[in-house]
Amino acid sequence: MTPLLILLTILSYFVLLFVISYLTGRKADNQSFFTGNRKSPWYLVTIAMIGSAISGVTFVSVPGMVESNSFAYLQMVLGFMVGQFIIAFVLIPLFYKMNLTSIYEYLESRFGVSTYKTGAWFFFISKMLGAAVRLLLICIVFQLLVFEPFHLPFWVNVVFTVGVVWLYTFKGGVKSVVWTDSLKTFCLVVSVGACIYYISKDLGLNFSGMLSTIQESKMSRIFFFDDINDRRYFFKQFLAGIFTVIATTGLDQDMMQKTLSCKSYKDSQKNMVISGVMQLFVILLFLMLGVLLYTFAMRENIPFPGKSDELFPAIATGDYFPAIVSILFIVGLVSAAYAAAGSALTALTTSFTVDILNIKKETDRKVADTRKRVHVAMAVVMGIIIIIINLLNNTSVIDAVYVLASYTYGPILGLFIFGIFTKKQVYDKYIPFVALLSPILCLIIDKNSEAWFNGYRFSYELLIMNATLTFLGLCLFIKKKEVR
């Protein structure tokens, strides 16, 4: 696939994206940007949530990881489903009852201003780093397929990529994101399904033959119960999945901003439950694709790339299949990556404007002017971080995302668990120190776990330990008088 054809494919997709963004954002105001005026159809939000949850990381990393992890990721996805039920029936009714613009306003009403700011800053750091890592992936692929052949440096790639995200979220905010993310989810699912079809066809497999090939492969093992020290051990993955999705969806302004744009909390609950079930089947498609990719590579004696993330791009854009496969890969990757990045940029703008700058009492004009400046600033910061991470990254992108989440979402999770499931009040001024100390202790324990715990190695359950340390830290600063 030539760089020019790839570029034309990307630009065609962007034209469609901007048309939808323009039509949905024409009459947008501040409430449209922040909450979608609480009028988003739940089924549309459900579709949009799939696109946001999948992201470009899943699109590229999950197929590549089956060689080393088999289908172990499904254990974590099963945990995701349980976590989304908890979000639907515990968090969503609470957030609707309080009529929140930012979910971190709950921390202010429950504990005080210091805790509120702590939660907002941890979200800001978490989401900014996570979004940058996810967007880095598409920048790397764009650099390989488009910018390098045209002899353009990486920073030009980053400016282009982040600039597009900024443009289509500038006016409509979450109102536009819900519609554009729905388009991206459709493109994403069609893309991966079509890639499975064409690769199976080239391997000479009909539908039943494809399923048999995947089932008989040693890469299709799902459950791992035999070694507790294995990162793939079932209960590590399953429990990590539950708490990861609670933290990164239920306590994440990005994901909840779309969810809370539904008309009622019951609509939001339907969206959360159904999107959790749908996510399981979509992830399964990516894992199935991974087995087929490795099977094809072995048959054709294609050398495996240095990083597993590069397998799908290398095969999909090579000269192994009809051009439609390359086009579908590009459309799917762009859809996945921009779904996550667009909603992340909108959420970062909302949280920074509402939580950190605290402009809730300002006039609509003042809020709009501030929001627009913050939106530009968030895009610039994201671009700078992408360039820095690109210089430092040496691991699988999906692994990097979950490791970051373990350290940065842990304090947020601990704060909300303490606030919701206890009636105790704490000394608000000490909470920032607890939230900062918990990830540091978590890191120390993680680095020494094999020596201290008879060879035990932590996986993504680091998030649970981080939240537990935060919860225990809060217990040290409980006031004697209970909240009534």
Q: Is residue 59 within 8 Å of residue 340, measured between CB atoms?
A: no
250, 349, 473 from 466: Cα distances, Å: 17, 26, 11
Which residue type is seen at 242?
Answer: I
Encoding tokens for residue 412? Answer: 């947020």
Residue 430's pLDDT is what?
Answer: 92
Residue 82's pLDDT is what?
Answer: 93
3-class SS at 79? helix
3-class SS at 40? strand
CATH fourth-level superfamily of 3-392: Sodium/glucose cotransporter (1.20.1730.10)
Q: How many Å separate Cα 359 from the centre of its chain?
A: 27
pLDDT at residue 208 above 80? Answer: yes
Q: Is residue 320 within 8 Å of residue 202, measured between CB atoms?
A: yes
Residue 483's pLDDT is what?
Answer: 47
Query: Is residue 364 classed exposed, middle or buried when 0-12, 13-18 and 19+ CB atoms within 10 A define those classes?
Result: exposed
Q: Is residue 42 within 8 Å of residue 270, measured between CB atoms?
A: yes
Residue 36's pLDDT is what?
Answer: 47
Residue 144: partners with Cβ closer than 8 Å, 6 or more residues away: 313
94, 100, 425, 461 from 420: Cα distances, Å: 9, 16, 11, 21
Helices (H), 36-112: 42-64, 66-69, 73-86, 92-98, 105-110
Lowest mean pLDDT among 173-182, 403-412, 416-425: 173-182
pLDDT digits (tens, 9 = 90+) for 287-339: 998 899 888 888 878 777 666 767 777 787 777 777 777 777 777 777 766 66
Comparing 36 with 139, the larger pLDDT belongs to 139
pLDDT at residue 211 above 80? Answer: yes
Q: Give the mean pLDDT of the chain.
A: 80
Kindly write down the DSSP assignment for every residue of 170-208, as one continuous string. Answer: TTTTHHHHHHHHHHHHHHHHHHHHHHHHHHHHHTT--HH
Query: Is residue 292 classed exposed, middle or buried when 0-12, 13-18 and 19+ CB atoms within 10 A define those classes?
Result: buried
Instruction: Quote the CA–CA distance of 50 and 67 in Å, as a whole number.
Output: 25
pLDDT at residue 33 above 90? Answer: no
Residue 24 pLDDT level (bands cut at 50, 70, 90): low
Q: Is residue 340 within 8 Å of residue 374, measured between CB atoms?
A: no
State mean pLDDT over 49-62: 70
pLDDT at residue 75 above 90? Answer: yes
- Domain ranges within the chain, ordered by starting residue: 3-392
State mean pLDDT over 19-44: 60
State mean pLDDT over 341-349: 74
**For every residue of 93-152, which 3-state class applies, written as one string?**
HHHHHHCCCCCCHHHHHHCCHHHHHHHHHHHHHHHHHHHHHHHHHHHHHHHHHHHCCCCC
Q: How many Å separate Cα 442 from the centre of its chain?
A: 22
Lowest mean pLDDT among 27-36, 163-172, 184-193, 307-316: 27-36
pLDDT at residue 106 above 70? Answer: yes
Length of the chain: 484
Q: Among candidates 371, 347, 407, 397, which has minimal Cα distance to 59?
A: 397
Kindly write down the DSSP assignment for every residue of 214-282, as one continuous string. Answer: HHHSGGG-----S-TTSTT-HHHHHHHHHHHHIIIIIT-HHHHHHHTTBSSHHHHHHHHHHHHHHHHHH
Residue 21 pLDDT level (bands cut at 50, 70, 90): low
pLDDT above 70 covers what percent of the chain?
84
Q: How many Å separate Cα 250 from the centre of its chain?
A: 12
Q: Among candidates 195, 222, 178, which has minimal Cα distance to 73?
A: 222
State mean pLDDT over 471-481: 87
State mean pLDDT over 224-246: 87
Residue 463: partners with Cβ closer than 8 Å, 6 or more residues away: 240, 243, 244, 247, 405, 406, 409, 410, 413
Residue 436 pLDDT level (bands cut at 50, 70, 90): very high
pLDDT digits (tens, 9 = 90+) for 258-274: 777 777 888 888 888 88
State mean pLDDT over 206-218: 90
Instruction: Quote the CA–CA distance of 158 and 163 in Å, as a whole number.
Output: 8
> How many CB atoms are located within 10 Å of the residue 373 CB?
13
